[in-house]
Structure 1
Amino acid sequence: MFLRTFGWSFAITVVGLIAAGLIWGAQGFGVVLILSVLEISLSFDNAVVNATVLKRMNPFWQKIFLTVGVLIAVFGMRLVFPLLVVGLTAHLNPATVIDLALDSSKTHDGHTYGEFLALANPAIAAFGGIFLLMIFLDFILEEKEFNWLGWLERPLERIGKLDALSSVIALVLLALSANLFAGEHAETVLLAGLLGLATYLAVNGLSGVFESGLEDEEAAEEEAAKSGKPIVLVAGKAAFFLFLYLEVLDASFSFDGVVGAFAISQNIFQITLGLGIGAMYIRSLTVYLVRKGTLDDYVYLEHGAHYAIGALALILLASIKYHVPEIVTGLIGVAFIGAALATSMVRNKREQELEPDSA
């Protein structure tokens, strides 16, 4: 199963690195390799969260996620999206943006393409930060079958019964971020943050509409699991909006990587290739977690991933004013995932030790 799931990732890595070496030499090979590792380290928690959604989709939509979804992730988010952001925020026409992107040394009004993208960071950080924050808040405020940090999660579940509390908290943090970090970009930050909130509510709400019968299906799944019948998975319009939700989620995760990549290389094609290779591994890891049933075996992994998302959301909001090294962001995510995995293993061992006594 491992080779079948990661086969395309391995093949693209080999082809991509060979191409980098032939086109840009040893230095380009090293840059693309570093960018690939950067993307993987920053997005491991993304794979875990993706898996929690993907496991509810049928095999057809899982395959769409791994094929069409990869094309959107690589070419859409790592190549086209930065071009659109630079054009919109700097008020440049598409031809000028593409010209700047193709020649990293060329300037317009005294700024290179990479510098224009850095100047767009307040809007990018506000949009992605609020979108990810909503994911974290909706998870931490809802009732869960298992609690990882019970002393924190149980009180939050009780206050989470208040309607729209997650949106209220997100709006308060957005207002504080605009006031404390944005300076002259306060209006831009507020607008981008509101768009991030609106995007989350729209995509999440639409998927909820088409999943109106999901609770009944989940109850049927439990009965099916007991009786050995096949599990019913989400398809059709519900699966489409879950797929759309995953793509927006991936976009939010990729913001810091795309912006941070310009500290390593100013070549847009090196960045796209390196981050694209990393994105392939995240996609493959997501599918592997689903097919292996890892989230069911290690019940706190989902918690750890969402705490990592919450941390990333706050880092993105802080990055409106302060630069946070990408290594810090990556290590925080790995730390939460590692802690969740370790505590899940301890829990499983304890459960196994109790089984003979209960029998």
Structure 2
Amino acid sequence: MIRKLNRVLTVPVILTAVVAVVAWEVLGLQIAVAFLFLVVLETTMGVKSAVPMAGVATRIDERSRRIFLTFGLVVGELLGRLLLPEFAVAVEHAREGDTHLWNAFIEVVTDPSAFASDLLHIRPAIAAYGAVFVWLVFAEYLFNTDRTSRGSWLGPAEARLARVRRPWLASVSTAVIGATVGAFLVPPHAALIIFACGAAGGATYALSKGIAAWARRGTGGRRVSVHAGTVIFERALVIFLMCEILDGVSVLQSVKAVPSPVLQILIASAAVTVGAVLLALVTGRVVASDGLARHRHLKAGAAYCLGALSILLWASLIAPIPGIVASWVATVIILAALITSLPIWERLVDGLRARLAAAQARLRA
């Protein structure tokens, strides 16, 4: 086990050491420390995301999975952490009449404070959009839209939800209810925008699934790549929502100690790349070792992480929620799924049930 862990960590450790030494020699100790600090944050989030991403990987075919687990996760991490915030701000600028979409990307370099303010300003709209999108991804598990044979983690209630007659109708209906409630949580003048953003999240999900369904019907390499691309897109969007929107701060603002915006971008990009490589390697190890099958509740835990994220996004319409909250909620869910998957837990539960049954028998006697 230790040998396998060492193989997984080798590449990220070498990348970190090389970049840190170069940064120290060329740019100074402050830059190197800022880089190492951000690497720790990215690595922590990457490891915590490995199990949910392994759950995503098990839902796609083998050829698409290979693409997803190699450069796909790295691309998704880079897109979600570095480019989607700028794209979101650019869309808002376009809605306000600014036809130069590149202005948002230029603003990151020329005026980081203004960019952070713009991102914070549009956070409720993106939260409403993302809550519906992520909920629909979670609902695939909750209502068992693929109709796969599986056990239940949370008992009879979960089992009944997995057997609903029209799973897709249940998924859409609950998403619509969530979007409607979210619209009521905001001031009246913003309700229509929030509901429209939720509808856009649902439309994005439907488009992604439609493209994936089209790609699965073919056998060519291009269609396999398209299928993997839809999964990568979902991954990038989830990263963006969890790490950027819940606290309204871009990863580029995590290295404010660095005086130059250009250096901030370079340091953030290098740290995110290290985290992305580690995420891809750890996720690949979980899939290769069949960890989700050997620990039977891990897949459920990965799904419930997405469910918790969607609820936190809806809750963030009332008050900002720090990203660390989402991170720890996901950690607790994964740990609970792992512990309840262990044989010792099953023996403990069986023993408690036997004692309870014996106590009830004595009472009846």
TM-score range, shorter chain: 0.7 to 0.9
What does 1:1-359 align with in structure 2 at a 5 Å threshold? 1-22=4-25, 25-42=28-45, 44=47, 46-55=49-58, 61-91=64-94, 92=98, 93-104=100-111, 112-142=114-144, 144-159=149-164, 161=166, 163-181=168-186, 184-211=189-216, 237-238=223-224, 240-258=226-244, 259-260=248-249, 261=251, 264-266=254-256, 267-346=264-343, 350=347
CA distance in 2, matches of 1:89, 1:46: 29
Q: CA RMSD in A?
A: 3.4
Q: Which is greater in Rg?
A: 2
When residues 292 and 199 of structure 1 are mapped into structure 2, their CA distance, relative to the original with a 3 A threshold, is: same
When residues 150 and 168 of structure 1 are mapped into structure 2, their CA distance, relative to the original with a 3 A threshold, is: same
Q: Is the 8 A contact 1:42 1:329 kept in 2?
A: no
Deviation of 1:166 after TM superposition, in Å, equals 0.7
Alignment length (residue pairs): 329
Amino acid at match of 1:138: E
Deviation of 1:336 after TM superposition, in Å, equals 0.4
When residues 170 and 27 of structure 1 are mapped into structure 2, their CA distance, relative to the original with a 3 A threshold, is: farther
Deviation of 1:236 after TM superposition, in Å, equals 6.2
* Range that drifts further, 149-158 or 129-138: 149-158
Deviation of 1:252 after TM superposition, in Å, equals 1.8
Deviation of 1:244 after TM superposition, in Å, equals 1.7
CA distance in 1, matches of 2:265, 2:313: 22
When residues 172 and 55 of structure 1 are mapped into structure 2, their CA distance, relative to the original with a 3 A threshold, is: closer
Deviation of 1:80 after TM superposition, in Å, equals 2.5
* Range that drifts further, 143-152 or 342-351: 342-351
CA distance in 2, matches of 1:269, 1:183: 42
When residues 285 and 349 of structure 1 are mapped into structure 2, their CA distance, relative to the original with a 3 A threshold, is: same
**TM-score, normalised relative to structure 2:** 0.77
CA distance in 1, matches of 2:165, 2:344: 26
Residue segments in structure 2 that go unaligned for 5+ positions in a row:
257-263, 351-365
Amino acid at match of 1:292: S
* Alignment correspondent of 2:362: none
Deviation of 1:146 after TM superposition, in Å, equals 1.3
> Larger relative contact order (C-alpha < 8 A, sep ≥ 6)?
1
Q: Is the 8 A contact 1:74 1:275 kept in 2?
A: yes
Q: Is the 8 A contact 2:68 2:228 kept in 1?
A: no
CA distance in 1, matches of 2:217, 2:181: 35
CA distance in 2, matches of 1:276, 1:321: 33
CA distance in 2, matches of 1:288, 1:252: 21
Superposed CA deviations along residues 62-119 of structure 1, whole A, max 9, x for unmatched, are: 44334432452244332222222112213342453233211345xxxxx611111111
Q: Is the 8 A contact 1:300 1:343 kept in 2?
A: yes
CA distance in 1, matches of 2:26, 2:187: 40
CA distance in 2, matches of 1:116, 1:182: 19
